[in-house]
Structure 1
Amino acid sequence: MTTPKLLNRLTFRQLQVFRAVYEQHSYSRAAEALGLTQPAVSAQIRQLEQAIGQPLFKYAGRTLHLLPAADALAASTRAIFGQVSRLQMTLSDMDGTISGELNLAAVSTAQYVVPHLLARFRAHYPYVQVRLRVCNRSQALVRLAERRDDLVIMARVPEDDELTFMPILDNEMIPVVWPGHPLLDADRPTLEDFARHYVLMREPGSGVRSAFEERAAEQDVTLSHAIELGTNEAVKQGVMAQLGVAVLPRLAVRLEIEAGLLAPLDLPGFPLRHSWCTVHPRDHFPTPVTELFLRFVRDHLDELHEHFAAPPSPMPSHGVDCLPVTAY
């Protein structure tokens, strides 16, 4: 097949659908991400396979396998869409606006930090459409492996040379109890003393739970009296209701501690410290908007650190009303 014939038969829509299927490893998930029906996705892929004269995917049972032509096309598609994105950024810069999409996934503990970054970023670049999905650590690792997002924001980044990451803020996890809890008056309480109470914990796959369980194993402490609750907010409310004790991110409870609704407990081996990081696969080249966001985060790290290191207070004004941009 000659190059002109291939150029005449390829469409950007086919490549867009292909990219979604390739990254999601699923026709149904690609259809959901694109807002299409699964038959529409299948039809686009069939047309693309006819255009290039090669099969791209093959199902074995319920598993979608990538064929060699898919890997070759994926590399070219990344380059094509990267150039189109850069063209869009150049044109936007010429008329005084920068537009595009930024798709983020963040572990649930990072939800106390990421909105502050997004507010600043959107104030400077109001035409960028931002999407944020909050998930637990296990889900974040799956999304990272399947390249579903431009960036994943998480702590405890896996030791993997194929990942690129940038630390943005420390995540301290601390033991908390309700005011008046007997352990607050105990002489040098230990994690073993803590574990004799009902311990409220997130679901399996949560980063906070995994870090806590690892520390308990290091100290040879069994967490025999656990009550599983689905979110950090539910755990926090459970401690305030005197249902049990918990280990939670300091940023998740700093307002309640300041208000006297919760009390931090000093235990050996705590706080647990990990850094939230922006993460993406090394071979998943950032889009221009993603590069812009990463540069923006680097430029505002000092401001972010200063705010969260101080007692709770409103963020300094960024001087922009949070109103939708109106096209005239």
Structure 2
Amino acid sequence: MPLSVQKIASRLTFRQLQVFKAVYDLSSYSQAGELLGLTQPAVSSQIRQIEQALGTPLFEYVGRKLYTTAAAERLYLAVVSIFSTLKHLQTDLAALQGKVAGELKLVAVNTAQYVVPYLLRAFLNLHPDINVSVKVVNRATAVKRLSENSDDLVIMGMVPDEKPLTSLPFLDNELVPVVPTGHPLLKQNVVTPQEFLDSQLLLRESGSGSRLALELHCQDKRFKMPKGMELGSNDAVKHAVLAGLGVAVLPKLSILPELELGTLVIPNVQGFPLRRSWCVVYPAAKHPTPAMRAFIEYIQQNIKQFERMFLRNSQPSKA
């Protein structure tokens, strides 16, 4: 005999449904536990309680792989619908009070992680009911996520021009040449770009925004860009320069403490710094949510303030 709605509602909790959804999405009890801050036995216990309440199994192991049952497929559709309705309810209730609420999923490329916290501080003061999540990825992953419409907004520097995207530039991104203190190039008043590039150039991985900007600059100016050691993050490149492994082109905002201490120095290289813009990007066909609109409007209204703030921060004090 099928369970009545009242009996199902009395036997299930939202937390149990959240655990079920995590296990379903990740196909793993242990990964679901890591995501939700639960032990694997606690996750197993929650799933067993749901199965007992519904009177049917939801997951089964074949070998070491976890599979879903037909009941789990139906439950998943219901859970997604329930959580979606609750999100809309949160937004609607906030709107009735003249507020903006809901979720805002941001993706920032690696180099933008130095900018995003400063953007969010005042925004969250204005909109405390918006729940913001930030995922930091490399540029290639950001472009892929844009194509898949996985997030609300992406913050990046090198915006793909082959895709239908809406882009809002809001801040200059200076890419500067850097060498460790005491480097021989610092003895020269002016350094040619090719001299700099030939001084054991350290590079980000292929596809990163800062590397792409340098590659395009070299292509445009017909400089030969040598193959150098590749590293997977700006911090890794920075520490490689500090260790004396070579020179690099890095976002100025990512090396302010080292410039302040004098452990990294910007030589006078012709044609530098390279200037790009940080942009807020989303698919052109996307319909912005209230939280998205609030963030976009906040960026538009505060561009001048961001410029002043980051210009001040990017000028190290002189001893």
- With structure 2 as the length reference, what TM-score do the two structures score? 0.71
The DSSP-based 3-state class of the residue aligned with 1:215 is: helix
Corresponding position of 2:134: 132
The separation in 2 between residues aligned to 1:283 and 1:84, in whole angstroms, is: 25
CA RMSD across the alignment:
3.6
The separation in 1 between residues aligned to 2:126 and 2:205, in whole angstroms, is: 37
1:1-328 → structure 2 map (5 Å cutoff): 39=67, 88-95=90-97, 98-160=100-162, 162-224=164-226, 226-311=228-313
The separation in 1 between residues aligned to 2:210 and 2:224, in whole angstroms, is: 17
C-alpha spacing 1:219/1:242, structure 2 compared with 1 (3 Å): same
Question: In the alignment, is the contact (CA less than 8 A) between 1:255 and 1:312 conserved in 2?
Answer: no
CA shift for structure 1 position 124? 2.0
CA shift for structure 1 position 86? 6.3
C-alpha spacing 1:230/1:252, structure 2 compared with 1 (3 Å): same
The separation in 1 between residues aligned to 2:276 and 2:309, in whole angstroms, is: 18
CA shift for structure 1 position 263? 0.8
C-alpha spacing 1:153/1:41, structure 2 compared with 1 (3 Å): farther
- Tell me whether 94-103 or 190-199 shows the greater mean CA deviation: 94-103
Question: In the alignment, is the contact (CA less than 8 A) between 1:176 and 1:265 conserved in 2?
Answer: yes
The separation in 2 between residues aligned to 1:208 and 1:283, in whole angstroms, is: 28
Amino acid of the residue matched to residue 201 of structure 2?
V
Question: In the alignment, is the contact (CA less than 8 A) between 2:114 and 2:253 conserved in 1?
Answer: yes
Task: Count the aligned residue pairs.
Answer: 264
The separation in 2 between residues aligned to 1:208 and 1:131, in whole angstroms, is: 24
The DSSP-based 3-state class of the residue aligned with 1:226 is: coil
The separation in 1 between residues aligned to 2:144 and 2:152, in whole angstroms, is: 14
CA shift for structure 1 position 273? 1.4
The DSSP-based 3-state class of the residue aligned with 2:205 is: coil
Amino acid of the residue matched to residue 232 of structure 1?
N
The separation in 1 between residues aligned to 2:72 and 2:277, in whole angstroms, is: 42
The separation in 2 between residues aligned to 1:243 and 1:276, in whole angstroms, is: 29
The DSSP-based 3-state class of the residue aligned with 2:229 is: strand
- With structure 1 as the length reference, what TM-score do the two structures score? 0.69
Quick one: percent identity of the two aligned structures? 41
Question: In the alignment, is the contact (CA less than 8 A) between 1:105 and 1:134 conserved in 2?
Answer: yes
The separation in 1 between residues aligned to 2:101 and 2:308, in whole angstroms, is: 29
The DSSP-based 3-state class of the residue aligned with 1:199 is: coil
C-alpha spacing 1:45/1:144, structure 2 compared with 1 (3 Å): farther
CA shift for structure 1 position 207? 0.8
CA shift for structure 1 position 219? 3.5
The separation in 1 between residues aligned to 2:285 and 2:87, in whole angstroms, is: 17
